[in-house]
């Protein structure tokens, strides 16, 4: 009887350790995912955004949150971010009832930005995963 209980306890402990170890990568990925948002200087805010090819630079007052819904409950903090843009990044232009979604490359080509140029917008929010921008939303 003692052998069976010892084996079952050992089996349970092994299972608990394996399931805990397998869940660690998922937790690390969620910690590395966040949203950024800011109001540009042109709209009376204090964020500046610069286009540098496959990199976006944000300077000034920016909000940072773990979810998009909580972004506007977080105070702005003065900071600077230099983030690479993922190859699969989508840009969404939000205007009343006319939302347009396109790839990052198409957006840059349509706006004819040159490296180092300041991006003109009213408000921008960014989905960052793994240190790369995955989604960009520009609100009018």
User: Which residues, other chains included, contact 78 with Cβ-Cβ below 8 Å and sequence gap of 6+?
Assistant: 46, 60, 61
What mean pLDDT, rounded, does the chain reach? Answer: 83
Task: State the Cα–Cα distance between residues 130 and 69, nearest whole angstrom.
Answer: 20
Q: Where are the alpha helices (DSSP H) in 32-128?
A: 104-111
The percent of residues in the chain predicted with pLDDT above 90, rounded, is: 57
Q: How confident is the model at residue 11 (pLDDT cuts 50, 70, 90)?
A: low
Provide the pLDDT for residue 14: 58
Provide the pLDDT for residue 133: 95
Task: State the Cα–Cα distance between residues 60 and 81, nearest whole angstrom.
Answer: 9
**pTM for this predicted structure:** 0.73
Using DSSP bridges, classify how beta strands 123-129 and 33-39 pair: parallel, antiparallel or unpaired: antiparallel
Least confident of 9-23, 30-44, 99-113, 117-131: 9-23
Give residue 90's Cα distance to chain centre. 12
55 close to 100: Cβ distance less than 8 angstroms = no
Where b means 16+ CB within 10 Å and e means fewer, 29-48 reads: eeeeebbbbbbbeeeebebb
In a 13 Å sphere around the CA of 117, the CA atoms on its Cβ side amount to: 11
Q: How confident is the model at residue 24 (pLDDT cuts 50, 70, 90)?
A: very low
């Amino acid at each position: 009887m003692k052998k069976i209980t010892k084996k079952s306890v050992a089996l349970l402990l092994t299972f608990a350790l394996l399931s805990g170890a397998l869940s660690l990568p998922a937790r690390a990925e969620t910690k590395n995912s966040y949203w950024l948002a800011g109001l540009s200087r042109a709209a009376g805010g204090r964020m500046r955004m610069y286009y540098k090819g496959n990199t976006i630079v944000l300077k000034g007052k920016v909000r940072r949150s773990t979810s998009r819904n909580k972004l506007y409950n977080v105070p702005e903090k003065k900071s600077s971010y230099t983030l690479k843009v993922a190859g699969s990044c989508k840009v969404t232009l939000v205007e009343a009832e006319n939302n347009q979604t396109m790839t990052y490359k198409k957006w840059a080509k349509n706006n004819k930005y040159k490296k180092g140029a300041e991006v003109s917008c009213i408000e921008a929010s960014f989905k960052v995963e793994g240190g790369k921008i995955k989604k960009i939303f520009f609100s009018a």
